[in-house]
Amino acid sequence: MVSANRWSWLENSGSSPGAHCVRYNRVEDFNSQVVKANSRIAEMKQQLDMTRLPRHVAIIMDGNGRWAEQRGLPRVSGHRYAIESIRKTVDLAHELGIPYLTLFAFSTENVARPPEEVSEIFLLFEETLEREVPELNEKDVRLLVSGELEMLPQHLERKFKDAIELTKANSGMVLNLCVMYSGRQEMVRAARAVAEEVAAGRMKPEQIDERRLRDFFYHPELPDPCLLYTSPSPRDLSTSRMPSSA
């Protein structure tokens, strides 16, 4: 359990959680990319074989900071611009009828980033949940979160849990957000739970197999990802990738 004081710098950094965050107005470059992307998406949709779409798509959302730096912007602005891309991704998956979409949004290793960048990301989480969850609910999307929510600031943890509660009865597309997530930690968490079952006499060692281990994942009901997408930049996927996508 993380100390409640872990995020005290968020409370003390200004009059509000985002008081020190800067807003950027250089959007011409971004808007032109959005227009081009929309055109490409329209062309690709016409060429899709709708009978061969993956059931579960997983996307590692990486490179926002680099995108901003390449354009002479602070890293935090890249995360804000990325929200539009995320919205379009979710809308497209919903439109195509893909049943499961996983977005790796924030790993446990991301906590080591500069405090101002982490603060901006948390603020974006809060703003996006407030703005997008009602619409997701109207579209019958069910929101899940994989990760250690208790590691977040309490007010943000509450917003995620409220969103999960609001959409839990929905039967449409499942949107699984990996927040404070680590693939290694999920395996450790599952192994520890299995060991506790064996120690308590509720399971025999010879009963342990892949299926029983999977029972202790965050959401064992989710099918394995059929398609995992990440940026082409070299990176360690072990903290982001779900065990079932190995």
Q: Which of 12, 64, 110, 215 is catalytic?
A: 110
Where does residue 95 rank: exposed (0-12), middle (13-18), buried (19+ CB within 10 A)? Answer: exposed
Which among 214, 220, 173 has a CA at the least distance from the CA of 55?
173
Query: Tokens at residue 1, please?
Result: 């359990």
Active-site residue 110, yes or no?
yes
> Rounded distance, CA 157 to CA 16, Å?
17
227-229 and 174-181 beta bridge pairing: unpaired
Query: 132, 206 in Cβ contact below 8 A?
Result: no
Determine which one of 25, 31, 62, 140 is catalytic: 62
Q: CA–CA separation, 244 vs 214, rounded Å? A: 8
- Give catalytic status of residue 62 as yes or no: yes
**Residues with catalytic roles:** 62, 110
